[in-house]
A and B are shown apart, each in its own frame.
Chain A
Amino acid sequence: MNGAPTDKISHTLEPGWRGVIADWSSDRDAFKQVPWGKAMMWIFLLSDTFVFTCFLIGYMTVRISTTEPWPLPSEVFALEIAGHHLPLILIAIMTFVLITSSGTMAMAVNCGYRRDRRNAARLMLLTALLGAAFVGMQAFEWSKLISEGVRPWSNPMGAAQFGASFFMITGFHGLHVSAGVIYLLIVAAKVARGDYELAVADESAAAGGGAGNYQIVEIAGLYWHFVDLVWVFIFALFYLW
């Protein structure tokens, strides 16, 4: 603010690369009372929002501009179960599985903050299992479509752009779910092992976002809920439209 303290500060400034790191990390926090890990996860999710929206906008563009009729998702994704012809049934089940996994994840966050690490780890494991089930059903859906002759460049049902949009959008989402399953398993293993029990007594460490608290569960949860959120948009705009 004024001239006098500057000299005092300049003595404590690091030169060189250590100084670069110290300078960048010493900025004042804009997001008060939000741990840095959570702020960074939100910023990553914001960037991911742009990626997924660009895919969906690309899909919208090719679907509007094609002169061929678009394949009916309701029929393409129908299944015969016990003699009944059910439209979109697999996609509906996948939606329910993913919503359920979001619910168990929210409860894992709650358990983490109550320092109930066994249940937090169990619920995260359950979330990861539901996520793996989702990816399994997606693999089944992909094999079914591929065996019916759907390719990224052509398909027997109508507009060729259908395959490109389908494999691109659901593939990228499935990749996110798979990465989320691995991420959840790693965090669940660390929670179960008690890695975040360290320095419990040191409340100031807890406020700084280090060991001794279960913010990591909430941050992993943010990623998982985002994967569910993207599916809400894919379900509505690709499968139902």
Chain B
Amino acid sequence: MEHVQGQQHPIGLYLQIWGLLFVLSTLSYLVDYFHLQGGLRWSLILLFMLLKAGLIVAVFMHMRWERLALVYAILVPPLCLLVFMAIMALEADYTLLLRRLFFAS
């Protein structure tokens, strides 16, 4: 891919991704509309969310055509956030446990 001239891709590709994003958004709205509950609801929400995020970053933000040095510099650091999220989920569960033990009336 020629980078000096910038990222040039056919408009048709953007329209396809746009359509896909519409479909995925509708599907995630329908998850709520049909009152899906429990594991099915959460896994579908996360699946549609990650698909949409992937399409936006890969195509609209041109990440799939960038050199790997830039891709890794941007996409690897956020992995720390997953660790942070796991730590805070543990912490929140512990807080909830203590609140239930000592503040339940």
Residues on A close to B: CB < 8 A? 30-34, 39, 42-43, 45-46, 49-50, 53-54, 57, 60-67, 74, 87-88, 92, 95-96, 99-100, 102-103, 105-107, 109-110, 112-114, 206-207, 213-215, 218, 221-222, 225-226, 228-229, 232-233, 235-237, 239-241
Contact = CB atoms under 8 A, between A and B. Distances in A.
Contacts of B52: 232
Interface of B: 3-11, 14-15, 17-18, 21-22, 25, 28-29, 31-33, 35, 42, 45-46, 48-49, 52-53, 56-57, 59-62, 66-67, 69-70, 73-74, 77-78, 81, 84-85, 88-89, 91-93, 95-96, 99-100, 103-104
A217 to B, nearest CB: 9
B3 A34 contact: yes
Decide if the interface of chain B is mainly helix, strand, loop or mixed. Answer: helix
Given A65-B96, A102-B56, A207 B78 contact: no
B103 A67 contact: yes
B74 A30 contact: no
A92 B79 CA distance: 29
Given A45-B74, A102-B18, A206-B5, 17 more contacts: A42-B74, A43-B73, A46-B78, A53-B78, A54-B84, A57-B84, A66-B96, A88-B33, A95-B29, A109-B7, A206-B4, A218-B7, A221-B60, A222-B61, A232-B53, A236-B45, A240-B32
B78 A33 contact: no
